[in-house]
């Protein structure tokens, strides 16, 4: 056994025993009934873009219109221009213009979307792409963060992250810059998981 294996074995032997988490209230007594409208307000307040689907025809048209340059799609509904590639080589994503992903769920209170490793394929995709286009099932919008932590995705995923609008930073004079440390834009299109256009099986 080499030094690395000895250290890891010692860590495993001395891990603290798991403890039950305390029960926490959900603070849902005053949650608005219309979670979609509340989510949209939160999204736009944080600099995100709400994509309005057309009343008829191709409901994915607003997402497809965003697809310019190098596009990596992690959803079957929209085609990309190249596959995501080897997840062990995330630096290969440094030239991605648009990433299309489905959110595990959304949080109405904050306008946030949650991604896990299952949705992203490679965690770096959510940060190296210039623009994120997100498909979100309206049935997957929870009221607040307290409800979000009850979602099973957070208990079975190896990695999970909440994105609230695009990357942003502001200096002391209040000049806001988007895209300083991550994506320059985050757009959300409501699109149910089980939706099938007419004529499709």
pLDDT at 200 over 50: no
User: Does pLDDT of 199 surpass 50?
Assistant: no
- List of domains in the chain: 32-190 (3.40.50.10420)
Structure tokens of 134?
């997100």
Q: How far apart are CA 191 and CA 133, in angstroms?
A: 12
Position with higher pLDDT, 2 vs 195:
2
Q: Tell me what pLDDT residue 181 has.
A: 81
CA angle 192, 146, 167 (to 5 degrees): 70
DSSP tally for the chain: helices H, then strands E:
7, 11
* Predicted structure pTM score: 0.84
**The two structure tokens encoding residue 18:** 């798991």
Q: Contact, 136 vs 163, CB < 8 A?
A: no
Task: Please answer whether residues 99 and 133 qualify as being in contact, where contact means their C-beta atoms are separated by less than 8 angstroms.
Answer: yes
DSSP assignment of 107-165, as one string? ETTTTEEEEEHHHHSSTTHHHHSSEEEEEE-GGGEESSHHHHTTSTHHHH-S-EEEE-S
Least confident of 18-22, 103-107, 171-175, 179-183: 171-175
Q: From CA 153, how far away is CA 161, in angstroms rounded?
A: 11
Confidence bin at 11 (pLDDT 50/70/90): very high
Tens-digit pLDDT profile for residues 54-70: 888 899 999 999 999 99
Would you say residue 145 has pLDDT above 50? yes
């Amino acid at each position: 056994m080499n030094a690395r294996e000895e250290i890891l074995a010692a860590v495993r032997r001395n891990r603290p025993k798991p403890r039950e988490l305390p029960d926490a209230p959900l603070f849902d007594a005053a949650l608005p009934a219309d979670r979609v409208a509340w989510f949209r307000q939160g999204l736009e307040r944080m600099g995100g873009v709400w994509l309005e689907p057309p009343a008829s025809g191709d409901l994915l048209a607003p997402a497809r219109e965003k697809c310019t340059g190098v596009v990596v799609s992690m959803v079957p509904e929209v085609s990309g221009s190249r596959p995501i590639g080897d997840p062990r080589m995330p630096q290969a994503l440094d030239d991605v213009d648009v990433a299309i992903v489905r959110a595990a769920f959304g949080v109405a209170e904050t306008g946030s979307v949650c991604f896990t490793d299952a949705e992203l394929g490679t965690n770096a995709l959510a940060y190296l792409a210039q623009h994120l286009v997100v498909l979100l099932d309206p049935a997957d919008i929870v009221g607040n963060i307290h409800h979000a932590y009850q979602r099973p995705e957070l208990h079975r995923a190896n990695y999970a992250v909440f994105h609230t609008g695009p990357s942003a930073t502001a200096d002391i004079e209040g000049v806001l810059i988007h895209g300083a440390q991550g994506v320059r834009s985050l757009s959300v299109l409501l699109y149910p998981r089980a939706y099938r256009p007419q004529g499709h099986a």
